[in-house]
Amino acid sequence: MRYRAPVLWLLLPWAAGVASARILPGAVPVGWLLPCAAALAGVSVWCAFSSPARTLVARGGLAAMVTAMLLGGAAAYEIHRGRLAVWETLPPREARLVLSVERAYTPNPAYKTVSGIARVVSADPHLRELAGQRLYYSLRPADGRQRLLARTTEIRVTGVLQPLPRNAAPDTFDGYLTSIGANFRLTRGRIHEEMRGPSAFAAFCERARLRFETLLGRGIEEKRPELAGVLRAMLLGQKRDMQEEQVTTYLRTGTMHLFAISGLHIGVIALGIHGLLAAVRLPRWVQFGAGLAALWLFVQITGATPSAVRAFWMIALLQLSFKLRVPVNPLATLAFAALVSLVAHPLQLFSASFQMSYGIVGGLLLFGVPLGERWQARWRLFADLPKASWAWWRRWAEKVQRALLGALGIGVASSLVSAICGVIYFGLFTPGALLANLVLIPLASVAILGGFLSLLTGLCGLGWAGALFNHAAALLLLGMQKLLEWFLLIPGIFWPGKFAPAWTGHAALACLLGSFLFGYAHRWRWGRGGFLAPVAVVGVALAACVQFGG
């Protein structure tokens, strides 16, 4: 089935405007862009209501709307980035600030510091322009005790404040910081005091997270702590609990995404919550509200990462469509969710999680599903026999074949996007990721469901059942780990590499997504390149723009 998504006329120019503002060497004139965007939007509305469709005036209105979104995206980037022009050329200097913690990183005992992302609440009078700025901090606690600061905690600090570059390489830590809107580093200082503790809700989420950690370790923590760490990483996104060898194994096989709380995890948890509420037989709308509330609480407890929040809203929109009994258009839903995300937080466009999650899901809908359907139509089992005469084993064989061909099409689509993004963000090309993910994603889904049941039974006081589910999930994780270790013995399963220059990687990703849209719009006709066009884009990008080795 071919879906239409008119919202792409809004999403694509908005994203292009955001990207253009980042590429430009200086700040864009927001004071000019916003009035121009508003005027063009008004012209577009006038054209839409004053002229029939497909006329010259209507086409002019469409052009005006696209231009308005382009200018609006550029202005939104500059507003959200909030760069202070006066600091562009200033050297590092000492600053006394009050910070509100937004995200805390696990302390490293070797450095005796605590670090994270915070927003400036107040500063000394000569630095008052820093209020509201986001920064990265790495400071020593006054009492010398390392601890994980909860969100919304306010701390009084002193340190050396250094501006971050306007644009940094995406595969560096500075690149990550700029992609989330941080403009400064605060280091070589100390935390004097906690001026205000976390909010009641943030404190509740922190207590719940610690409780979840305990429940997911029940029965396996003592004997196999490395498996307990992997289970926590998969359910709570705490990759710090994984051993270095485990992280390397998953990175080299292109399966590290299994430990980022995103669509797979939120989808499985949503399925578990839905099954639980359906068993209780609550009214339909009560199930909907209670399920979304429970899912949102899980997202908050696990840190409310952008990928988890995006997945939550996608699932909420899909569930609302089912409840209202309106036709579900996954492509339009995906485009609308991406537009809302970029309007609210334009800087997400440059994060690895945004590009990989929306890029992969978009690839599945535009390329993977049509490819699987084309294969299913081309290679039909028992095509010469009437379906009414099929024996049971023929029916099952046909279902299995259709499922395998559909999964293979989806796997090819995700592998094409991952091939580009893996080199951009991880410096690795993993040609074996397709096979590895086809095997591991179903196993990981069952392991996540086992972890969810462990949390559920543990919270209900059924410790023995929680330990049983933990053992089942740990057994699956052990099998996955052994399978990947064997997988890495295959020569050429991964290749270190990087795009040179770095911008060619993002250009290649844009071309790949463009080829998905072009092929889908033309029904993947062979006369327009067919399904080989995206494969050719990836092949040319890897051959011409990637330096392998090192």
Neighbours of 288 (CB within 10 A): 18
Across 90-104, 235-249, 311-325, the highest mean pLDDT is recorded for 90-104
CB 373 within 8 A of CB 405: no
pLDDT, residue 494, reads 86
Residues 6+ apart with CB under 8 A from 127: 95, 97
pLDDT in tens, 249-266: 888 888 888 887 777 788
Q: Tell me the pLDDT band of 532, cut-offs 50, 70 and 90.
A: very high
The answer on pLDDT for 445 being more than 70 is yes
What is the per-residue pLDDT for 94? 92
Most distant pair of Cα atoms in the chain: their distance: 85
Which residues make Cβ contacts (< 8 Å) with residue 154, sequence separation at least 6?
A: 98, 99, 100, 101, 121, 194, 195, 196
Q: What is the pLDDT of residue 1?
A: 56
pLDDT digits (tens, 9 = 90+) for 356-381: 888 888 998 899 999 999 998 888 88
Q: Identify the residue with better confidence: 451 or 436.
A: 451
Q: Which amino acid is at 193?
A: E
Of residues 536 and 107, more confidence is placed in 536
pLDDT tens-digit map of 376-418:
888 888 878 888 888 888 889 888 888 888 888 888 888 899 8
Q: Residue 53's pLDDT band (boundaries 50, 70, 90)?
A: low
Q: Tokens at residue 451, please?
A: 């972890």
The pLDDT score that the predictor gives to residue 54 is 66
The confidence score (pLDDT) of residue 305 equals: 82
Asked whether the bond before 52 is cis by omega within 30 degrees of 0, the reply is no
- Quote the CA–CA distance of 335 and 366 in Å, as a whole number: 12
Work out the pLDDT band at 490, boundaries 50, 70, 90: confident
The structure's pTM equals 0.84
pLDDT of residue 550: 59
Is the pLDDT assigned to residue 184 strictly greater than 80? yes
Mean pLDDT of the region 187-192 = 91
pLDDT cut 90: percent of the chain above it: 37
pLDDT surpasses 90 at 298: yes
Residue 108 has pLDDT above 80, yes or no: no
Residues 437-455, buried b or exposed e (16+ Cβ, 10 A)?
bbebbeebbebbbbbbbbb
Query: Which strand (E) or helix (H) includes residue 203?
Result: helix 200-217
Question: What is the rounded end-to-end Cα distance, in angstroms, of the chain?
Answer: 45
pLDDT at 332: 87
Q: What is the mean pLDDT of residues 458-481?
A: 92
Q: How far apart are CA 424 and CA 132, in angstroms?
A: 31
Which among 473, 488, 478 has a CA at the least distance from the CA of 433? 488
Question: What does the pLDDT look like over 152-180, one tens digit per residue?
Answer: 899 999 999 999 988 777 778 888 888 88
Fold classification of 90-198 (topology level): OB fold (Dihydrolipoamide Acetyltransferase, E2P) (2.40.50)
The reported pLDDT for the residue numbered 39 is 93
Q: Of 277, 261, 538, 297, give the one whose Cα is nearest residue 420.
A: 538
Q: 5 pLDDT band (50/70/90 cuts)? A: confident
- 3-state percent breakdown (helix, strand, coil) of the chain, nearest 5: 65, 10, 25
Domain boundaries of the chain, sorted by first residue? 8-81, 90-198, 365-429+500-550
Q: Give the model's pLDDT for residue 254.
A: 84
Tell me the pLDDT band of 545, cut-offs 50, 70 and 90.
very high
**pLDDT per residue as tens digits for the range 90-99:** 889 899 999 9
Instruction: Give mean pLDDT, residues 76-95.
Output: 86
For the chain, give the mean pLDDT. 88
